[in-house]
Homo-oligomer: A and B are copies of this chain.
């Protein structure tokens, strides 16, 4: 019997489908070949038990035996420590995987999230805030990621949890044509999302929410 349980929403509206963060955990679990099952919590009515597992009322969270973990970075770090398929085995490689795991979230997504929130809410164009966050993403982040990715296939030598997070973060930038000027970033996302484990994770998430529509 599996002891890994991934909890996500029972349903979400159309726009975020394919991008709900449970995909990061699904992807890692598929790469590692770890058995798991998916459970759900209501999207529309978030109860106190939900907040015990995820204090901001979001998803996903992962339970491994009696340990419950929220934050996609923490879940992927936990899985990386369980599986050699997700993290290099030498100390230097492990350290690189961990620093890039943080960089994906706290340097790149830190810039891409406000950028995408402005797009989602229709607040782009000739405003100071749009110029501020568009410049932050392009000049301070993507320009440098392009230089990094021009020189390597994966962030920590071999494919790792860092690539799952970085590719997933950049994938949302690509959705809004943000990678047009960055061929190495674009190719990196294409390379990562061509992996069978991503293809399955993505299809599984879409099927999960489609089944909720049909129910």
A residues with a Cβ closer than 8 A to B are 51, 55-57, 66-67, 69-74, 77-78, 91-92, 95, 98-99, 101-103, 105-107, 109-110, 113-114, 117-118, 121, 123, 127-130, 132-133, 136, 140-141, 144-145, 147-148
CB distance B113 to A121 under 8 Å? no
CB distance B106 to A106 under 8 Å? yes
Number of copies: 2
CB distance B56 to A107 under 8 Å? yes
Give the interface SS of chain A, mostly helix, strand, loop or mixed: helix
CB distance B99 to A102 under 8 Å? no
Question: Which residues of the other chain, B, contact A114 by a CB distance below 8 angstroms?
Answer: 113-114, 133
How far does the alpha carbon of A148 sit from the alpha carbon of B52 in the complex, in Å?
Answer: 10
Question: Which residues of the other chain, B, contact A123 by a CB distance below 8 angstroms?
Answer: 128-129, 132
CB distance B129 to A118 under 8 Å? yes
CB distance A107 to B141 under 8 Å? no
With both beta carbons as reference points, the residue of chain B lying nearest to A130 in the complex is identified as B129
With both beta carbons as reference points, the residue of chain B lying nearest to A94 in the complex is identified as B67
Question: Which residues of the other chain, B, contact A67 by a CB distance below 8 angstroms?
Answer: 91-92, 95
A121 touching B132 in the complex, CB below 8 Å, given contacts A57-B144, A69-B95, A144-B55: yes
Most B CB contacts (10 A, CB to CB) among A57, A99, A128 go to A99
Question: Which residues of the other chain, B, contact A98 by a CB distance below 8 angstroms?
Answer: 69, 74, 77-78
CB distance A105 to B103 under 8 Å? no
CB distance B55 to A147 under 8 Å? yes
Question: Which residues of the other chain, B, contact A102 by a CB distance below 8 angstroms?
Answer: 71-74, 77, 105
